[in-house]
Amino acid sequence: MSNTFDTIASIIKNRRTTKPPEMNGQKIPDEQITALLELADWAPTHANTEPWNFIVYAQPKLFGQQHAELYKANTPANEYMQMTYEKLLNMPNKASHVILCTMQRKPLTRIPVLEEIAATACAMQNILLGATALGLASYWGSGGMIHSPAMKQYLGLGEDDVVLGALYLGYSDTKPTGKRNIPLSEKVTWVK
Ligand SMILES: Cc1cc2nc3c(=O)[nH]c(=O)nc-3n(C[C@H](O)[C@H](O)[C@H](O)COP(=O)(O)O)c2cc1C
């Protein structure tokens, strides 16, 4: 295999989730975040709709505050849990940046929503792989209010738009290990 293949294979296999509490608070230069967003922008996109959009929180605690307040404001009193509020509030505390990733449909697009979501997920993976190559820790979070109608409304998104997740980026002193539960052979059918 070529050196280029070995390089990208190593980056792909080394991209492992690091939960934000395992990050150490060290800041990533904004220029590196910009470079990662440029990688995102080269994701494949059916009919060149480029449906991905990013909100970059350079002060990630602000995202935690907004997320937790959204939870408080939109959860019935009998379901509300202070523990959840605090988890959402504190989740980004040791991250450097949070990138909230959305798919926004172009008016009159003929591309199925599924494909626009897939394209945006590719863009997000580009960020994660670029982050790995830069020695950064990363986490794709979709918990809390991420998929709620309240989040969409808060962001001013349309009915067909989708919030895919929040990417937490930072540095970590620990290196996570990966595992796969299902053998690849069970997921592949060759037709020859
Ligand atoms: C679409 C998507 C949503 C995810 N949402 C969460 C989440 O809300 N909470 C969480 O702990 N991990 C979440 N993850 C991260 C996965 O837990 C993680 O990718 C998985 O454990 C595999 O580990 P790896 O990333 O190290 O391969 C999400 C990953 C993807 C792709």
Enumerate the domain spans of the chain: 3-187
Q: What is the reported pLDDT for 104?
A: 97
How far is ligand 1, taken at its centre, from the CA of residue 192, in Å?
A: 34
Average pLDDT, integer, range 28-54: 97
pLDDT single digits (tens) 48-67: 999 999 999 999 999 999 99
Confidence bin at 70 (pLDDT 50/70/90): very high
CA angle 124, 65, 151 (to 5 degrees): 55
Write out the DSSP string of 23-69: B--PPPPHHHHHHHHHHHTTS--GGG---EEEEEESSHHHHHHHHHH
Structure tokens at 14: 């080394």
Average pLDDT, integer, range 113-119: 97
Distances (CA, A) of 94 to 2, 85, 132, 151, 165: 38, 17, 18, 23, 18
Which CATH class, in words, describes the domain spanning 3-187?
Answer: alpha beta
CA angle 113, 144, 156 (to 5 degrees): 50
Confidence bin at 1 (pLDDT 50/70/90): low
How far is ligand 1, taken at its centre, from the CA of residue 43, in Å?
A: 20
Q: What is the reported pLDDT for 27?
A: 98
Q: What is the reported pLDDT for 108?
A: 76
Q: What is the reported pLDDT for 2?
A: 82
Mutation test of ligand 1: which of 142, 148, 179 has the most ligand atoms closer than 8 Å to its C-beta? 142
Confidence bin at 109 (pLDDT 50/70/90): confident
**3-state SS of 95-117?**
CCEEEEEEECCCCCCCCCHHHHH
Average pLDDT, integer, range 73-79: 97
As a whole-number percent, the residues of the chain with pLDDT over 90 amount to: 94
pLDDT single digits (tens) 120-177: 999 999 999 999 999 999 999 999 999 999 999 999 999 999 999 999 999 999 988 8
Confidence bin at 118 (pLDDT 50/70/90): very high
Q: What is the reported pLDDT for 155?
A: 98
How far is ligand 1, taken at its centre, from the CA of residue 139, in Å?
A: 7
Mutation test of ligand 1: which of 12, 13, 16, 17 has the most ligand atoms closer than 8 Å to its C-beta? 17
